[in-house]
Amino acid sequence: MNVIPLSLIDLSVAAGLVVALAGLSLVMQLGLGKRILIAALRTTVQLLLIGLVLKVLFDRAHPVWVLLLATVMLSVAGYEVMARQKRRFGGWWGYGLGTLSMFVSSFTIALFVLIAVINVEPWYKPQYAIPLLGMLLGNTMTGVALSLDRLTSGAHERRGIIEAQLMLGYEWRPAIAGIVRESVRVGLMPMINSMAAAGIVSLPGMMTGQILGGSPPMEAVKYQILIMFMIASGTGFASMAATWLGARHLFDERQRLRLDRLKEGRG
């Protein structure tokens, strides 16, 4: 595959666009200039580091190293889910709820696709396993974070309604069912919008990368369809699991709403 190499000067020119955006934010007093620059710096450092790690991993493929990197990715994704919520569960639940949901959903689907669909030999081949899991975790993380944030915010905002239903004899499931459905819809909406616009409004990342790398367009399209279906199912299953478990944890064994199990986050 023939790929046009990029120099540091090329990347510096692209970075100038981000600096210009930060400057415009400063002029407009949006309060986002510093955050934009920090995010750009984090992106650069993190991608350079993962590039070095993947270079070593590709040269010395071993299931232990692949699983270790996958664990690190999952751990960071779990923290990001927790950090993105305005109100989150306290204690282990704050971190473990999203992490467990993403683990069960993303790892199961990634392993299924590697073994049963793509039929990679060996299944842990990092050129396939790491990019697929990364794209799956990245999108699932967003869906789970949105669902849990909507769940906890909705329970806090409608506390009076929920408690009134409980006093009338409702169990916890019907009392919070509307908020649960709304939370899952919120988590799935970005993925649904992405699928609806793919190929017409936007060319998704993996497809674009393969085309730039010289792959035949139709082969890139088939891989992108596979990825979109993986992401949709992974996001859906993880969002549903996290929302249901979170909703259950909002009530104690006596069917009482326990908002004291939540604490303020930075959102």
227, 17 contact by CB (below 8 A): no
Instruction: Report the C-alpha gap between 264 and 86 in whole angstroms.
Output: 6
Using alpha carbons only, what angle is made at residue 245 by residues 97 and 153, rounded to the nearest 5 degrees? 80
Instruction: Report the C-alpha gap between 91 and 150 in whole angstroms.
Output: 19
**Average pLDDT for 117-130:** 88
112, 106 contact by CB (below 8 A): no
At residue 203, the pLDDT reads 65
Residues 153-212: pLDDT tens digits? 999 999 999 889 989 888 899 999 999 999 999 999 988 888 888 777 666 676 777 776
Q: pLDDT-derived band of residue 265, with 50, 70 and 90 as boundaries?
A: low
Residue 21 pLDDT greater than 70, yes or no: yes
Token pair for residue 224? 């992108």
Residues 48-80: pLDDT tens digits? 998 888 888 888 888 888 899 999 999 999 999
Instruction: Report the C-alpha gap between 33 and 23 in whole angstroms.
Output: 6
Of the chain, the percentage scoring pLDDT greater than 90 comes to 43
Token pair for residue 261? 């199990």
Tally of CA atoms within 13 A in the half-sphere of 242 that contains its CB: 44
Calculate the dihedral angle through the C-alpha atoms of 209, 214, 219, 225, rounding to the nearest 10 degrees: 10
DSSP per-residue codes, the chain: -------HHHHHHHHHHHHHHHHHHHHTT-S-HHHHHHHHHHHHHHHHHHHHHHHHHHHT--HHHHHHHHHHHHHHHHHHHHHT-SEEE-THHHHHHHHHHHIIIIIHHHHHIIIIIS--SSTT-HHHHHHHHHHHHHHHHHHHHHHHHHHHHHHHHTHHHHHHHHHTT--HHHHHHHHHHHHHHHHHHHHHHHHHHBTTTB--HHHHHHHHTT--HHHHHHHHHHHHHHHHHHHHHHHHHHHHHHHHHTB-TTS-B-GGGEEE---
Q: What is the mean pLDDT of the chain?
A: 87
At residue 266, the pLDDT reads 58
Positive or negative, the CA dihedral 13, 19, 25, 29 is negative
Cis, peptide link before residue 122, omega less than 30° from 0: yes
